[in-house]
Structure 1
Amino acid sequence: MSLDSTALDDYLARTGAREPELRALDAVVRSSAPSFEPVLTEGMGTSLLGYGLMPYQTKSMKEPSEWPVVALAARKNYVSLYISAVQDGEYVAVRYADRLGKVDVGKSCIRFKRLDDLNLDTVREILADLERRSLAGEKLYG
């Protein structure tokens, strides 16, 4: 299920001043992990532009759901790049935190105020690896 360009443009237009950053990140994700189909979803208290839906179930969930491996969200004071994946038992965002630039990193969230603060080469490397792992059938979530 691919996101059509009209829905994408509508979503990005609603992000206001963050639109150029999200458009640039959208291009990075699509070029680095082209098999991760874009979708619009709700989560983390906002609308997200997600990529690469995968089955997901927490212990408290009765039925499995789907969640994007990668997602973007515009916040009032920053942009969030969510990478919901683990590698060797460690959250990917945490694993690469020292190479991501002038950012704030949580378990699966990379927050930054300006796109120039984010090391896009490292993001491209992470995304390409996630796509490779996904296409090989590896489970990306813990």
Structure 2
Amino acid sequence: MTTKAQISRYLEALPEPKQGDMRKLHGAILDMNPGCKLWFLDGKDESGKIVSNPCIGYGTLGKQYANGKTKQVFQAGISANSAGLSVYIMGMDDKKYLQSKYGDSIGKANVTGYCIKFKALKDINLDTLKKAIQDGVEQTRA
């Protein structure tokens, strides 16, 4: 199954209004980053055990580990979970940047070093979220 088909199946399986919010976020990120690599992580490890929520990823980032090995990961990602939605902005060096730049203007969201969590899109300022995502993508663009 193609990545686009996996993403489509994942989105279709989500209940409303979460499905609508995820579709809107997915479309917005694709509009901001046309032609970016798409990822779909089903949340399962090599043995098939569920270890995380499924996640849609966008772009490519080379993540270097302490042992010197590099692994390709996504630059930004979105995921639905029991509490709402999470947006992941990967690879930023300053773990306080997102909170200090966007925390006060984003609305009802928990902003950490790489994750913005919120219950629904109606609870946040979507333009601010889009700026935060694009800011992170730009900072990690190769």
So what's the TM-score if we normalise by structure 2? Answer: 0.77
Percent identity reads 23
1:46 and 2:53 aligned: yes
Partner of 2:46: none
Q: 1:127 to 1:106 in 2, by over 3 A?
A: closer
Q: Give every structure 1 segment of 4 or more consecutive aligned residues whose post-TM-superposition deviation is greater than 6 Å.
A: none
**What does residue range 20-35 of structure 1 map to in structure 2 within 5 Å?**
20-35=20-35
Q: CA RMSD in A?
A: 2.4
Partner of 2:99: 94
Compute the displacement of 1:67 (Å).
Answer: 1.5
Partner of 1:84: 90
Structure with greater proportional strand content? 1
- Count of residue pairs the alignment pairs up: 132
The one-letter code sitting in structure 2 at the alignment partner of 1:94 is Q
The one-letter code sitting in structure 2 at the alignment partner of 1:16 is P
1:55 and 2:74 aligned: no
Return the alpha-carbon distance in structure 2 between the equivalents of residues 20 and 47 of structure 1.
Answer: 16
Contact residue 87 and residue 117 of structure 2 kept, 8 A: yes
Return the alpha-carbon distance in structure 1 between the equivalents of residues 23 and 76 of structure 2.
Answer: 15
Q: Structure 2: where are the runs of 5+ without partners? A: 44-50
CA deviation vs aligned residue, 1:56-94 (integer Å, no higher than 9, x gap): 1232x563212111111110121111111426x345432
**What does residue range 1-142 of structure 1 map to in structure 2 within 5 Å?**
3-4=3-4, 6-17=5-16, 18-41=18-41, 45-59=52-66, 63-86=69-92, 89-95=94-100, 96-135=102-141, 137=142
Return the alpha-carbon distance in structure 2 between the equivalents of residues 90 and 134 of structure 1.
Answer: 14
